[in-house]
Structure 1
Amino acid sequence: MNEEKMTINEEKIMINITSGQYVASAVRIDQYPEGQLHEVAFMGRSNVGKSSLINSLCRRNGLARTSGSPGKTQTLNFYRLMAKMSEEDRREFFLVDLPGYGYARTGKSNRIQWAKFIEEYLLKSPRLQLACQLIDIRHAPMESDISTYQWLIENDIPVQVIATKADKLTRMNINKNVAAIRKGLGMKSNNIIAYSSEKGLGRSELLDVIGEILLK
């Protein structure tokens, strides 16, 4: 499935995350947690606000550790989340936090090692349903953002672009910068969610996307 094939049903799925817990860290397939739960992966440049977004999405401060020092996440971190689809329907899934890419001070050997196990996960995990690529809304996509997005599309991995830190901009500039990100990535659709971890902007839209995945 590529970007153009992703659709959202007209009837929105009202879901919420009711619980979440850290399960495992991994750099090899044999370290992945067992089970057949769907997976939603989150990735982006170091210091893009990934941990803050995960905590905001789950409404659990401290679930994913935030740091002022980029490049701290060096493994695939798996979290088991419970989603409430309705009063009777509860569904679990794995949220997978991937190491940040594009951090210049990371040693070359580490970058190669990280790229290998991240690529292995993205290409070989049968449970992966969606890769959420985070890009700082305040800046045009960098080369690493563009190459990562193109790689996901070329490898037929469903991707949802999320423009983080939207609270830093006015509404007019949000629209302007989202358009710049879309152009910079060469996207053929308007499939970008502007997100603010501080104000909750974009949370319901992202939950809608996850809800569609959990119904598959």
Structure 2
Amino acid sequence: MASPLIRAHYLMSAHNPRQLPPDGGFEVAFAGRSNAGKSSALNAICQQNALAKVSKTPGRTQQLVFFEVEPERCLVDLPGYGYAKVPKDLQAHWQSFIDSYFRTREALKGLVVVMDIRHPLKDYDRQMLAYAVERGLPAHAILTKADKFGRGQQTQALMAVRRELQSAYGDTVSVQTFSGESKQGVDEARAVIEGWLGY
């Protein structure tokens, strides 16, 4: 049976809280540092090549982008800043906007944090995971670009991240390896997201 996620389509972008769609239904947010492979992961999970814009320029997503799977079920692409070349005041704006989104959004059911398997658990990743854990939301870490590693290296990286997540957050954060290129881990990620969306 085809995944409902393949029906995802662009709904809207919000640059401030007033622009957010009505707070109802189910939303799953995607976060990731610039160039972690977030857009590629979203595209692979939804079996679409151009759902999320894949950019060579880090920090392209400069608002909350909503992709609707069906009414009241959305995937939300969060701005991937890390080393994005954006003015400090814009970073501060995103920071407070995302902060309030996490604290107050009733529709938010889970968070996917996308990390490059070669550089996992940077400050931004930890901050996003902390947001989810503080709110009692489940979080799922995806270690992208796994095809850059051999099987043994993948397993080592996965175990190391899992240990660190476990000691920091207990069982609230799950983790997997993933590759948009080879489609490794796509079904596993999709199953987690579908569950949070109430399928």
State the TM-score, normalized to the length of structure 1: 0.81
Q: How many angstroms apart in 1 are the aligned matches of 2:14 and 2:106?
A: 16
**Alpha-carbon shift at residue 104 of structure 1 (Å):** 5.7
Query: Cα–Cα, structure 1 residues 157 and 110, in superposed 2: closer, same or farther, change >3 Å?
Result: same
Alignment length (residue pairs): 196
2:191 maps to 208
- Of residues 187, 193, 212 in structure 1, which corresponds to 2:176? 193
The C-alpha deviation readout for 1:55-113, integer Å capped at 9, x for no partner, is: 1111111111010110111000000115xxxxxxxx86200000013226332212111
Conservation of the 8 A alpha-carbon contact between 1:194 and 1:201 = yes
Matched, 1:61 2:77: no
1:29 maps to 17
Query: Cα–Cα, structure 1 residues 147 and 30, in superposed 2: closer, same or farther, change >3 Å?
Result: closer
Give the alignment's Cα RMSD to 1 decimal. 2.3
- Of residues 113, 136, 140 in structure 2, which corresponds to 1:133? 113
**Which runs of 5 or more structure 2 residues have no equivalent in the other structure?**
none
In percent, how many aligned pairs have the same letter? 36
Q: Which amino acid aligns with 1:66?
A: V
The structure whose residues are more often helix, as a share, is 2
1:160 maps to 140
1:144 maps to 124
Query: Which secondary structure state, in structure 1, belongs to the residue aligned with residue 6 of structure 2?
Result: strand
1:86 maps to none
**Alpha-carbon shift at residue 16 of structure 1 (Å):** 4.5
Conservation of the 8 A alpha-carbon contact between 1:146 and 1:184 = no
More moved, 199-208 vs 14-23: 14-23
More moved, 187-196 vs 72-81: 187-196
The structure with the larger Rg is 1
Conservation of the 8 A alpha-carbon contact between 2:64 and 2:79 = yes
Conservation of the 8 A alpha-carbon contact between 2:28 and 2:197 = no
- Of residues 78, 95, 111 in structure 2, which corresponds to 1:98? 78
Q: How many angstroms apart in 1 are the aligned matches of 2:180 and 2:129?
A: 22
1:77 maps to 65
**Alpha-carbon shift at residue 47 of structure 1 (Å):** 0.8
Query: Which secondary structure state, in structure 2, belongs to the residue aligned with residue 18 of structure 1?
Result: helix
1:8 maps to none
1:17 maps to 5
Query: Cα–Cα, structure 1 residues 154 and 123, in superposed 2: closer, same or farther, change >3 Å?
Result: same
Conservation of the 8 A alpha-carbon contact between 1:140 and 1:184 = no
The C-alpha deviation readout for 1:4-33, integer Å capped at 9, x for no partner, is: xxxxxxxxx984433121010002233122
State the TM-score, normalized to the length of structure 2: 0.88
**Which runs of 5 or more structure 1 residues have no equivalent in the other structure?**
1-12, 83-90
Q: How many angstroms apart in 2 are the aligned matches of 1:166 and 1:138?
A: 8
Q: How many angstroms apart in 2 are the aligned matches of 1:81 and 1:206?
A: 16
More moved, 146-155 vs 59-68: 146-155
Q: How many angstroms apart in 1 are the aligned matches of 2:145 and 2:196?
A: 25
